[in-house]
Structure 1
Amino acid sequence: MAGRQHKWHGRVEDAREACAVPSCGEPGEFRAPLTPGNFDGPGQYQYLCLDHVRAFNARYNFFEGMSPDEIEEAQSPIAGWQRQARTFAHLGADPAPAWSDFADPLDAIAARFRSGQRGRVERFSGAERAALDTLGLKEDVDRTGLRKRYSELVRKYHPDRNGGDRSFEKKLGAAIEAYQLLKGSRAFA
């Protein structure tokens, strides 16, 4: 069974020492540091009764004796975490290419793990470039522009929009095929 919760946090059970304050006859049930602010080790403690530990806590000032710069540093959210860290090696992987070599940062991430390629990564493959030509688009097109152009061509070439004229079926098929290829391309992922 777990220990019983006590009303007074930090109370020393079965205290045998008397309160450290002279002329106090109460048992010293609460531990208080002799030198406040010393957190470099276990430190020295005194044992006080409840009334005297309350008085001790009321006048306790952690920042006593510190300069304004030391106080600001102690209040920093990262206080105590400033440590030297070792530099990690690449462990066999090539360093990442320069960000300035890429139009799309995601290409830079993927390029790090492609073998044999250095420098600029091409956004589109040869088949994808041909599909862009079929749709009449340039390589700087985004997903919205691709979808918009595809919709325009479907409306233009579809027989239902041309009074049943089937002469544009090859162009419609080419536009649909080009769109299917491009929408699955990593350039639009």
Structure 2
Amino acid sequence: MSGAFQYRPKFVDIRVRPPKPDEEQARDDDVFALKPGERACDHPGCRMAATARAPKSRDMLHEHYWFCQPHAAEYNRNWNFFAGMSEGEIRARREDEAMTGGRPTWEMKAGRRSREAAAFTANFARGSGYADPFSMFGGGGPESRPQSAPSRRLGKLERNALADLDLDEDAEGPKIRQRYTELVKRCHPDANGGDRSAEHKLQRVIKAYQTLRKAGMV
């Protein structure tokens, strides 16, 4: 081949200047910036857009967390539908699934203001009443007793956060703040003569408090 047709590169030095710190930070901010209509991931400290949802707990299947794909996968790996249930409760839940398929059922009984309920009350007052253990006619059964107030329903993240703070699930805002302040003072290296052995516990405490604040519990 003649020299006239040989390839001769025009540029030989292709070195690339590394970005400056402010340029690198601007690039990172642009990568994690949310576009219009996107929502942030509910995982504490995550700046990515949420693209998947996950139920908060087995009692709140219609209320969801919104996660990015990596955190949704992590949440699903750790999901345990029967977490916190005793063996008897698990067995009863499985029997209910086998009997009704988990679908709701309705009781076939008279209302409390029906004619049958009035007749039952009148007969019982005269001493001629009959046993109604299942409250089929609106009186005398377990449902006639006052019901206790429902307990607070928490998601998995909130329960884990309270456990990291060594608190019960019924802990309120003032108690949470008091416990958080106590643990931070106890685990901080300045309170231990520079010893950083409790630093991991400190990080978990801070993350747990941020989770509870995001859930509106503090």
Same fold (TM over 0.5): no
TM-score (norm 2): 0.31
The structure whose residues are more often helix, as a share, is 2
TM-score (norm 1): 0.35
